[in-house]
Amino acid sequence: MFNKDQLPESFRREFIREVFFPLALVLVIVWASASISVFWAAKHSNHEAVLQQENIIKTAFSQSMTEHQRQLHSLTNWPPFSRILQQPQLDMRWLDDNVGHWLYQMFGHQDIFILNPQDRVVAGWQNGQRITNQRWSLFEDALAPWLLRQSQPHGSGTKDNVDFVRIDQRAALMAASAIGSENAESGYRLIGIKYLDDGFLNALAQRSLINHLHYIGENAIPPDQARLQLRSRLGPSAGDFAWLPERPGARMLKLLIPLMTAVLLVTTLVCAGMMLRLWRLRLRLAQSMLRLGASEAQAQHLAFHDVLTGLANRALIDERLTQALARATRSHSQTALLLLDLDRFKNINDTYGHHAGDDLIIEVAHRLSALLRESDTVGRIGGDEFVIVMEDIQQLADIETLCQRIIATLSMPYTLLGSEAWVGVSIGAALAPQDGTERQELMRKADIALYEAKNDGRGQYRLFVRAMDESVQTRQQIAADLRSALQQQQGLEVWYQPLMDISGNQIVGFEALLRWHHAQRGAIPPSEFIPIAEETGLILQIGEWVLREACHVSLRWPALTIAVNVSPLQFRAAGFVQHFQEIVQSEGADARNIELEITEGVLIEDEREARAIIIALREAGFRIALDDFGTGYSSLNYLSHFPVDKIKIDRSFTQSLGVAENSAAIIESVVRLGHAMGLTVTAEGVETSGQMTALKEAGCNQLQGYLFSQAVPPDKIALMLDKRKAG
């Protein structure tokens, strides 16, 4: 079928300009107009509902005011009430029953006062119970404007006064009425106060169908509530009230949005159908023009691109790199060459098959392409080897940033055959013109930098420096000298560092450590020559020789455990378990006295095979220790999958005691976990008594470090044991 991606860019631009943009603009206008109209109508409807409910609340408050005045007026116009007040001695029991109790029980007046013509309190009630006259002081200032207005000379004053007031930060309904008939006022006044509390407001809200009406004073309200300020007739505010307003607009939106969406979707589909029909018509015209050049372009593409990934192949990379170097020379700019090699890719092929490996290579190509600029070139030059050409480099940080992004992106999991798999990547980079201006020279130096990246632990990048070239030659010389030393048994020795019990007094075993004293270079640390032995394969012979030496020591001190380090290369070698058994048997030693220390690196490659090897070693009598615990990818996970006997806490955790805040907590957690699984826990790198104390408190079983002793040659083991025994 014809591939639309093969159409010329001008065809797409013309179609987008003349067809797609006009129709898309119409759709946008329709969608925007409909949305704005509906939401405006909903908002307007909600606003009108709030205004309507506000008027209802105002009317309800006004009716409550009239009703409150009527309740008080019904008592003040009662003749017996006026006559009681004219008596020389007031009948307080009569007043309690017919004023205080009656107004509270009948109408809910909460504070009631009777004032004499001199505006002094004659009697007062609160919630129907008589109170002392001192309570009037709480109301006197708040009610003064209304009482003064009622007391004005005839013509300007009023017989009754009712209004909303604020008393002690509470909104209230107050009524003051003269006692007696209009023609025969006694001069006394009755004041009734009803607070606009929750009970009052709930009753008012139920009558008026208002939701959650409540008093808020001057506080702020939530955004979903409406607010009403209640003002008295004299002007001051009695306080603010809030309620949850009805929102008919929201209900309208629920009804209209599905209908509007359906109409707009139909409109959109019609427009899309029109665009599709126009596209096909124009496509037929363009196809006849492109088919002629398609086969030629495809042949050209295959000649310079990798068949599996579609990336540039070695021929195109060589051409692009040559051109880039020429341009860099003319413009005095910089060009970078990056060589990439996938880590652990062989395990993917071995585990999932070559078809899954091809899928992973394709995914890697996609991820790399997404990270690069249009001016950069990425290609595949081998099975799991990729190359990137970067032009116009402004600063070295650009290369470092890209390398970091590549490592992070390619380290993310891949889905292969329904399960997740991981690979890493090592990167070597060389920069022109600093590292060379010829293509082959730049390739060689980028390859050296790649070697350094893989040699330093993989999953890293290295930029070429001149010292690397010298380092390659040095490593080659050291490898030759190491091979000679192993053959002639000169310079190589096995020394032993004691493993102590938790008290630090008793030696429970030794760890066999390889030492090399070079005739010209002097002492070469294991961290320098062990990786070279791994690369050259000499580690297999060295490991066997170390095991034999450890067996000799084990025969001399059978009560002690001798620990021997096992390299990943040894662990994965064919017949590893059987070969170790044969060595121990040939030396006459007991495998139960030999402890094999492995690192997490040997477990990462193939968990199923590693588990089978460990089980076979334990069945042969060897003890298994997981070395450098805590520095790998998922140490805790290994404990539940691999039947080890011991875990050795890495020296980095021991050294951080007293320095890092959480170091002690981490060690305690590891110890508890190890003990819970029945494992012995050894701490490495103990150098101070403070560290020893902390590890002892954490519950470690064994200690190892310079605090007790450095590694010693085998002829000094007896002296060390005697000193410890004597001590």
Pick the most confident of 54-63, 258-267, 596-605, 641-650: 641-650
Q: Kindly report the CATH number assigned to the domain that includes residue 162.
A: 3.30.450
Is residue 402 a part of any domain in this protein?
A: yes
Question: In the beta sheet, which residues pair with residue 428?
Answer: 339, 462
Q: Which residues, at least 6 apart from 469, have a Cβ–Cβ distance to it below 8 Å?
A: 445, 448
pLDDT of residue 706: 92
Q: Kindly report the CATH number assigned to the domain that includes residue 341.
A: 3.30.70.270
- As for how many domains the chain has, the answer is 4
Q: What is the per-residue DSSP string for 158-192?
A: -SEEEEEEEETTEEEEEEEEEEE-SSSEEEEEEEE
pLDDT tens per residue across span 284-339: 766 665 665 555 666 566 677 888 888 998 888 889 889 988 888 888 889 999 99
pLDDT of residue 468: 78
Q: How far apart, in whole angstroms, are the C-alpha atoms of residue 321 and residue 523? A: 44
Is residue 67 a part of any domain in this protein?
A: no
Average pLDDT over residues 11-31: 77
pLDDT tens per residue across span 194-206: 888 877 888 777 8
Is residue 469 a part of any domain in this protein?
A: no
Is residue 600 a part of any domain in this protein?
A: yes
Q: How far apart, in whole angstroms, are the C-alpha atoms of residue 138 and residue 719? A: 98
Q: Which domain range does residue 437 map to? A: 305-464
Question: In the beta sheet, which residues pair with residue 463?
Answer: 429
pLDDT tens per residue across span 55-109: 888 787 888 888 888 888 888 888 888 888 888 888 888 988 888 898 888 888 8
The answer on 311 and 296 residing in a single domain is: no
pLDDT of residue 205: 77
Q: Is the pTM of this model over 0.85?
A: no
Nearest to 218 by CA among 232, 237, 236: 237
First to last CA, the chain: 89
For the range 332-335, what are the long-range contacts, defined as Cβ-Cβ under 8 Å and sequence gap of 24 or more? 333/391, 333/392, 333/393, 334/392, 334/393, 334/394, 334/431, 334/432, 334/433, 334/434, 335/389, 335/390, 335/391, 335/392, 335/393, 335/431, 335/432
Cα distances (Å, whole numbers) of residue 628 to 135, 227, 382, 565: 82, 68, 35, 11
pLDDT for 53 beyond 80: no
The CB density around residue 82, as the number of other CB atoms within 10 Å, is 19
Among all chains, which residue has been given the structure tokens 């341009």? 327
pLDDT for 666 beyond 50: yes
List the single range of 133-137, 364-368, 401-405, 461-465 with lowest mean pLDDT.
Answer: 133-137
Where residue 1 falls among pLDDT bands split at 50, 70, 90?
A: very low
Give me 510's structure tokens: 């030794």
Is residue 222 a part of any domain in this protein?
A: no
List the single range of 14-18, 135-139, 385-389 with lowest mean pLDDT.
Answer: 14-18
pLDDT of residue 403: 93
The answer on 410 and 315 residing in a single domain is: yes
pLDDT of residue 2: 45
The answer on 94 and 42 residing in a single domain is: no
pLDDT of residue 297: 60
Where residue 604 falls among pLDDT bands split at 50, 70, 90?
A: low
Q: Considering the chain, what percentage of its residues have pLDDT values greater than 90?
A: 25
Single out the residue in 263, 284, 300 at which a domain terminates.
300
The answer on 557 and 441 residing in a single domain is: no
Nearest to 519 by CA among 468, 477, 473, 547: 477
Is residue 475 a part of any domain in this protein?
A: no
* DSSP conformation class of 6: G
pLDDT of residue 140: 78
Is residue 654 a part of any domain in this protein?
A: yes
Single out the residue in 429, 464, 499 at which a domain terminates.
464
Q: How far apart, in whole angstroms, are the C-alpha atoms of residue 442 and residue 432? A: 7
Single out the residue in 464, 496, 513 at which a domain terminates.
464
Average pLDDT over residues 148-154: 63
Q: Kindly report the CATH number assigned to the domain that includes residue 591.
A: 3.20.20.450
Side chain identity at residue 535, one-letter code: E
Given a contact cutoff of 8 angstroms between Cβ atoms, the answer to whether 429 and 446 are in contact is yes
The answer on 99 and 8 residing in a single domain is: no
Cα distances (Å, whole numbers) of residue 197 to 1, 23, 129, 173, 218: 79, 61, 19, 10, 15
In three state form, how does the secondary structure of 230-273 look? Answer: EECCCCCEEEEEEEECCCHHHHHHHHHHHHHHHHHHHHHHHHHH
The answer on 327 and 186 residing in a single domain is: no
The answer on 311 and 288 residing in a single domain is: no
Task: Provide the H-helix boundaries in 489-600.
Answer: 526-536, 539-556, 568-572, 576-586
| Dihedral of alpha carbons 115, 116, 121, 124, sign | negative
Q: Which residues, at least 6 apart from 322, have a Cβ–Cβ distance to it below 8 Å?
A: 439
Cα distances (Å, whole numbers) of residue 64 to 175, 177, 208, 210: 11, 16, 12, 15
The answer on 507 and 647 residing in a single domain is: yes
Instruction: Give the chain's mean pLDDT.
Output: 83
pLDDT for 155 beyond 50: no
Number of helical (H) and strand (E) elements in the chain, helices listed first: 25, 25
pLDDT of residue 182: 58
Given a contact cutoff of 8 angstroms between Cβ atoms, the answer to whether 589 and 554 are in contact is yes
Q: How far apart, in whole angstroms, are the C-alpha atoms of residue 309 and residue 318? A: 18
Is residue 52 a part of any domain in this protein?
A: no
The answer on 556 and 586 residing in a single domain is: yes
pLDDT of residue 156: 45
Q: How far apart, in whole angstroms, are the C-alpha atoms of residue 693 and residue 703? A: 11
Average pLDDT over residues 376-396: 90
| Dihedral of alpha carbons 116, 120, 126, 132, sign | negative
Q: How far apart, in whole angstroms, are the C-alpha atoms of residue 329 and residue 311? A: 26
* DSSP conformation class of 153: P
The answer on 174 and 30 residing in a single domain is: no
List the single range of 503-517, 546-560, 599-613, 665-679 with lowest mean pLDDT.
Answer: 599-613
Higher pLDDT, 257 or 124: 124
The answer on 417 and 318 residing in a single domain is: yes
pLDDT for 710 beyond 90: yes
pLDDT tens per residue across span 156-199: 445 678 888 888 888 888 888 888 765 556 678 888 888 888 77
The answer on 397 and 345 residing in a single domain is: yes
